[in-house]
């Protein structure tokens, strides 16, 4: 399921290497379209972490993202649910500044769906 939202970058974190084969980068977007500002946290994973290179807090952007949810059971049997907003495209709005990172025209495949073909 894909969605989009526009707003102002509030926080742009550095990329975190979670495991040898997994990295993520989180950022916060301020949405001021309602009565009160909303601070919405997104994540970029794997190669998409580079999409924010060249962006700064205060930049007006449009974010295209997927809403994901998962279930987790603790060793004691307690079940919890988690949601994530996985961004797959970030576009700078306003001034026609060049994009510093590749932009995808659609959601890229999940890491486990990628193949190892050299082209």
Average of per-residue pLDDT across 83-98: 84
Mean pLDDT of the chain: 85
Contact between 68 and 13 (Cβ < 8 Å): no
Residues 6 or more apart whose Cβ sits within 8 Å of residue 76: none
Q: Whole-model pTM? A: 0.74
CATH architecture of structural domain 2-104: Beta Barrel (2.40)
Higher pLDDT: 96 or 58? It is 58
Contact between 59 and 35 (Cβ < 8 Å): no
Total number of residues shown for the chain: 119
Confidence of residue 110 (pLDDT cuts 50, 70, 90): low
Residues 6 or more apart whose Cβ sits within 8 Å of residue 50: 101, 102
Confidence of residue 95 (pLDDT cuts 50, 70, 90): low
């Amino acid at each position: 399921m894909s969605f989009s939202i526009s707003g102002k970058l509030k926080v742009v974190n550095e990329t975190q290497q979670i495991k040898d084969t997994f990295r993520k980068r989180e950022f916060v977007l301020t949405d001021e379209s309602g009565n009160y500002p909303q601070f919405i946290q997104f994540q970029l994973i794997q190669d998409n972490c580079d999409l924010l290179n060249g962006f700064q807090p205060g930049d007006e952007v449009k974010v295209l993202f997927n809403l994901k949810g998962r279930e987790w059971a603790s060793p004691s049997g307690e079940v919890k649910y988690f949601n994530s907003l996985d961004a797959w495209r970030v576009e700078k709005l306003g001034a026609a500044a060049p994009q510093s990172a590749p932009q995808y025209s659609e959601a890229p495949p999940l890491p486990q769906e990628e193949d190892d073909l050299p082209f």
